[in-house]
Amino acid sequence: MMIPTGEATIGPFFPPRYVDAGANDLTVFEGRKAKGEAIEIHGRVMQEDGTALENLIVEIWQADAGGIFRHPADPRHAQADPNFLGWGRAATDAQGNYRFKTIRPGAQEGRAPHINFMVMFSGLMRILKTTMFFEDGKDPVLMAVPAARRSLLIAKGNYEFNIRLRGENETPFFDD
């Protein structure tokens, strides 16, 4: 039984089945395997004092292995991988960790490979958006970030992307 604290009782209280089983695995869609290199992305989400946040919702949106978005705004969308949705959702565990299995996205003209992130949680009056990159480069969205903070958007290893909502090494978020 949890002690009722301010934390415990303002919400939002996401429904028990808000994160569907398999929603964090983008490598399979409707039972069929997506094309490309399967990768895992994981990370810890923390608040100002470094405390890890449990049951926080993370969503991602990305292009397929060919760099194509499954959306009519993409002029190449007719060639999009039919077995790749490009969207996923995960909740953080008790240690504040989220995990996605996905496909390493291809680049688009003018954009480096990247994955869009969205975070929703208690204490966030508005959802927060950020973008993960695989390496430093001349991407316009990365270049919009002050140079000293760019490295915070670049995944480490295979592939770790921590999200600090506030405080030391605060993740850059975008004004969307």
Partner 1 sequence: MKMIIQPRDERTQPARIIAGYPQTPLRSPKEPLVKRAPTLSELSGPLEVAKRVKLLGGDIAGQGEKQAIGQLIHLRVRVLDEDGAPVGGAVVEMWQANAAGRYIHPNDDDHAPPDPNFYGAARVVTDESGVFELRTVKPGAYPVPTRDGWWRPPHVHFSVFGRVWLARLVTQMYFPGEPLNAQDRILNAVPDAAARDSLVARYIPPGVEPYNALVFEHQIVLRGRAATPAQP
Q: Does 16 interact with partner 1 (rule: CB under 8 A)?
A: yes
Q: Which is nearer to partner 1, 78 or 157 (CB)?
A: 78
**Piece of 12-20, 33-41, 91-99, 154-162 that binds partner 1 (CB under 8 A):** 12-20
Q: Tell me which of 65, 83, 108, 137 binds partner 1, using CB under 8 A.
A: 108
Q: At its nearest, how many Å lie between Fe ion and the CB of residue 176?
A: 24
Q: Tell me which of 11, 31, 140, 157 binds Fe ion, using CB under 5 A.
A: 11
Give me the 22-61 binding string for partner 1, x by CB under 8 A, dash otherwise.
Answer: -x-----xx----------------xxx-x-x-x---x-x
Distance separating alpha carbons of residues 104 and 40, to the nearest angstrom: 9
Find the helix or strand (DSSP H, E) in which 140 lies: helix 140-143
Judge whether 95 and 55 are in contact, CB under 8 Å. Answer: no
Count CA atoms within 13 Å of residue 56 on its CB side: 31
Closest among 92, 128, 130, 70 to 14, alpha carbons compared: 92
Judge whether 84 and 70 are in contact, CB under 8 Å. Answer: yes
Residues that bind Fe ion (CB under 5 A): 11
